Amino acid sequence: MEESVQVALGGSLTVPNVQELAKQRLDQIPPRYIRTDQEPPLISADPSLPTIPVIDLQNLLNIRETRGSFSTELERLRSACVNWGFFQLINHGISSVVIEKMKQEVGDFFELPLEEKQRVSQHPNDAEGYGHTHITSHEQKLNWADMLFVTTNPTSAKKPRIYDNLPDSLREAMEVYAAELRAVAMTILEGLAEGLGMTVGEMRELFEDGYEGLRMNYYPPCPRPEVAIGSHAHSDTTGLTILLQVNQTNGLQVRHEGKWVPVKPLPDAFIVNIGDMLEIISNGEYHSVEHRATVNMDDHRITVASFFNPKLAAEIGPARSLIGPGKVPLFERITVEELFRDFFARLIKGKSFVESMRIKV
Ligand SMILES: O=C(O)CCC(=O)C(=O)O
Ligand SMILES: [Fe+2]
């Protein structure tokens, strides 16, 4: 492996392993998992709730080839990102062999004995590895989940302490999956640029050879699903997120018009969402929407979130091709690296990142 230019973007205090905690078959959970800081996670299954839009990537590509006028699928993509910030992606073209292999390997990783998984534990001041997301104080409430976070691009940012200690078969599956998904992400990003009237070249340049990571989330069964949460309400501090649901258990909910809407992944679909950076790049047209993951009593749940960001050294702000006479920038500019560092500082203060970047008028 070539020499690493690594960054440690915010660390996490050590907290108990939730998978091990769940194995004790407690009928109560420790107080730090009782989420008095969150809205109640369970919602009634209201049949009148809307469902997130579905986008067909093949339709989007066909349209591009025929160079049609502003197409229906492109308009649907744009509308999904303006009104929901989320959509399901079907006909994405990634082979089921690649996806099934990834699912199998991720599932197998979490089934390893704790000591094996701890070969890639997070280190103090570095969120990368096996552990938990962003634990910054001993009082902070905790998610009912463990996770493995790995940087997948650029090559120079891959950490030998993680890569050299992952099971070979997981590392291989991850690399193939990440490379295939990168191509899908770029196609979506191009569609997102077209939908805005932003130059496709500007979007490409921002995200080409960008900073990318995979977060594999493991949510064990929980004896108190009505008070615990797998992933607290948050928006993603990313460009684009593409989520793969690994097993059949659902749990993702998206905030839409003030309500929590559950997501039922279609077979072979990915769930895609706009992150904070794209909200800023789109000058507020697209929305980085809050979402959360609930847990349940009987089944564990596994998901893989892939995060696509511009290069750490890139500066983000409203796309230059969107700004002009009568179109003022609504957000400040910031480098991606500053943004990540700022994000961890802000997290402690509980401030929304996108709002903090808004230019005051
Ligand atoms: O597991 C899920 O459904 C959501 C995960 C998520 O929001 C994240 O990893 O950012
Ligand atoms: Fe998320």
Which one has a higher pLDDT value, 95 or 127?
95
pLDDT at 203: 97
Distances from the Cα of 245 to the Cαs of 47, 85, 201, 232, 290, in angstroms?
A: 22, 18, 31, 18, 18
Give the Cα separation of 18 and 12 in Å (integer): 15
pLDDT at 25: 84
Cβ contact 280:357 at 8 Å: yes
For 36-75, the pLDDT digits (tens) are 999 988 777 778 889 999 999 999 988 666 655 457 899 9
For 177-231, the pLDDT digits (tens) are 999 999 999 999 999 999 999 999 999 999 999 999 999 999 999 999 999 999 9
- Is the distance from the beta carbon of residue 236 to the nearest atom of ligand 1 less than 6 Å? yes
Q: Give the single-character DSSP code of 92.
A: -
Residue with tokens 């003030």: 258
Lowest mean pLDDT of 45-59, 91-105, 273-287, name the range. 45-59
pTM, to two decimals: 0.94
Give the Cα separation of 81 and 195 in Å (integer): 10
pLDDT band at 350 (very low <50, low <70, confident <90, very high): low
Among the bound ligands, the one closest to the CA of 215: 1
pLDDT at 168: 98
- Is the distance from the beta carbon of residue 303 to the nearest atom of ligand 1 less than 6 Å? yes
- Is the distance from the beta carbon of residue 289 to the nearest atom of ligand 1 less than 6 Å? no
Q: Is the pLDDT of residue 8 over 60?
A: no
pLDDT at 137: 78
Percent of the chain with pLDDT over 90: 76
- Is the distance from the beta carbon of residue 279 to the nearest atom of ligand 1 less than 6 Å? no
Q: Which residues lie below 8 Å from residue 116, measured CB to CB, with a gap of 6+?
A: none
- Is the distance from the beta carbon of residue 311 to the nearest atom of ligand 1 less than 6 Å? no
- For ligand 1, atom 3, the nearest C-alpha belongs to 252
Beta-carbon count within 10 A of 154 CB: 14
Average pLDDT over residues 102-106: 98
For 126-135, the pLDDT digits (tens) are 889 999 887 7
pLDDT at 347: 62
How many angstroms is it from 198 CA to the middle of ligand 2? 25
Distances from the Cα of 92 to the Cαs of 11, 29, 102, 188, 266, in angstroms?
A: 34, 40, 16, 10, 13
Find residue 54's DSSP bridge partners. Answer: 88
Find residue 358's DSSP bridge partners. Answer: 331
Q: Is the pLDDT of residue 15 over 90?
A: no
pLDDT at 1: 36
pLDDT at 70: 52
Average pLDDT over all residues of the chain: 91
- Is the distance from the beta carbon of residue 237 to the nearest atom of ligand 1 less than 6 Å? no
Percent of the chain with pLDDT over 70: 91
How many angstroms is it from 262 CA to the middle of ligand 2? 14
Average pLDDT over residues 338-344: 80
How many angstroms is it from 319 CA to the middle of ligand 1? 27
pLDDT at 263: 96
Residue with tokens 């009568």: 326
